[in-house]
Chains A and B, each alone.
Chain A
Amino acid sequence: MRLLLVRHGKAEFGPEDADRNLSPRGRADVEAVAEHLKTQEISVARVIHSTLSRARETAEILAASLAPGVHLEELQGIEPWGNVKAFAKLAETWGEDTIVCGHEPFMGEAVSYLMSGNAHAGLVEVKTGTVMALARNPYGEGWQMRWMFTPRIVRGPKREED
């Protein structure tokens, strides 16, 4: 079972944090990541997002490429201020490859916690649009990182229109 943890794409500024949408650059970044993963024949059974718009939009773009027809699931407790330990406990019960779209600092803390048992180990730097694939450690406790992409790595160097 693979857990694909994603930070939402770059978002517009707005008065209501929960309603902020992806910026054109943010959409293009997530689309590039989705396309790259599709090329690698990555598919998932479940797509989960936080209660905030920018995470839902990110999930929609990824689901369109990697899980067509799958019903998106909204999950509370994975907002930027979410509970990392409760999330880790929940993820332990999942049996199918799953995408989870959320936020910083939650996602970075979740990965640090799953890999090392310490949410504040600061193991990863999670830029917007980053995808991190974890699988359970076959030789011991916890989870292993298998791969990790940023939009920058997938799209290549910054372009003028960015």
Chain B
Amino acid sequence: MKLYLVQHADAVPKDTDPNRPLSEKGLSDAAKMAAFLCAADVQVDEIVHSGKTRAEQTANVLSKAVWQGKAAIEIEGLGPNESTDHLLHSAQIAGGDSMAVGHLPFMAKMVSRCLTGAQDGVAVNFEPGTVVCLERTDDSWALIWMQRPSMLGDT
């Protein structure tokens, strides 16, 4: 069972647009990441997002590569400062591979919690648009790979 944890791509500042949609860079980074996931043959059984515009937009761009372009599903409990309990619980019982698109610090805490049991046990360095792939075998999680837009060059 794989879990892909994603920080939304770069978004415009609040004073430009209070809804904070993806910036031009964010759209381009999300598209580059989608191309990377497609080349790597990543497929998932579900994509969820936090409900914020920047997360939903990122999720829907990635869906084109990994979930046949289906509309990503908004769920509760993925907000930037929410508890990781809800997502961890869903991930522990999930039967298939899933992708969750959200925010910092939530995603960093979630990675650490899966790997060490503690939210601050370990640090992975996110930038907007980063994807972290974790795999669960029996009851333990391991990091398999992680990719960031700045490692995907210019297209």
* Other-chain residue from A121, A137, A147 in contact with B146 (beta carbon distance below 8 A): A147
CB contacts between A and B, total, < 8 Å: 68
Number of residues from B at the complex interface, CB < 8 A: 22
B122 CB contact (under 8 Å) in A40, A116, A150, A152: A116
Q: Is B81 an interface residue (CB 8 A)?
A: no
A153-B40, A156-B41 as given contacts; A148 in contact with B152, CB under 8 Å: no
How far in angstroms is the closest Cβ of chain B from A14? 28
Min C-beta distance of B94 to chain A, whole Å: 18
Known: A124-B143, A125-B144. A157 touches B41 (CB 8 A): yes
Q: Does A142 contact B (CB under 8 A)?
A: yes
- Chain B residues, CB < 8 A from A150: 144-145
Interface residues of B in 109-126 (CB under 8 A from A): 115-116, 121-125
- Interchain nearest-CB distance for B134 vs A (Å): 10
Per the bound structure, the CA–CA distance linking A123 and B143 in Å amounts to 6
Contact B142 A122 (CB under 8 A): yes
Complex contact B40–A41 (CB within 8 A): no
**When chains A and B are docked, how far (Å) is the Cα of A137 from the Cα of B120?**
13
B125–A40 contact, CB under 8 A? no
Chain B residues within an 8 Å CB radius of A157: 41
What string of 1s and 0s marks CB contacts (under 8 Å) between B144-155 and chain A? Answer: 111110011100
Chain B residues whose C-beta falls within 8 Å of the C-beta of A154 in the assembled complex: 40
**Contacts A144-B123, A147-B147, A148-B143; is A125 near B153 (CB within 8 Å)?**
no
Give the contacting residue for B142; candidates A123, A135, A156; CB below 8 A. A123
Please, which residue of chain B has its CB at the minimum distance from the CB of A41?
B153
Cα separation A130 to B142 with both chains bound (whole Å): 14
Within 8 A of B (CB), among A99-156: 115-116, 121-125, 130, 135, 137, 139-140, 142, 144-150, 152-154, 156
In the assembly, what is the distance between CA of A40 and CA of B152, in Å? Answer: 6
- Check if A147 sits within 8 Å of B153, measured CB to CB: no
In chain B, positions 15-60 with a C-beta closer than 8 Å to chain A are 39-41
Nearest-Cβ distance from residue A155 to partner chain B, whole angstroms: 9
Mark each residue of chain A from 7 to 22: 1 if its CB lies under 8 Å from any CB of chain B, else 0.
0000000000000000
| Neighbour of A144 across the interface among B124, B147, B153, CB < 8 A | B124
User: Measured between C-beta atoms, what is the minimum distance from B131 to chain A in Å?
Assistant: 10
Contact B116 A123 (CB under 8 A): yes
Task: Tell me if A39 is interfacial: C-beta within 8 Å of chain B.
Answer: yes
Cα(A73)–Cα(B135), bound, Å: 34
Interface residues of B (CB under 8 A from A): 39-41, 115-116, 121-125, 135, 140, 142-148, 151-153
The 8 A-B residue pairs whose C-beta atoms are closest, nearest first, are A157-B41, A125-B142, A144-B125, A144-B123, A145-B124, A153-B40, A116-B122, A124-B143
User: Could you pull out 6 A-B pairs where Cβ atoms are within 8 angstroms?
Assistant: A40-B152, A40-B153, A123-B116, A146-B146, A153-B147, A156-B39
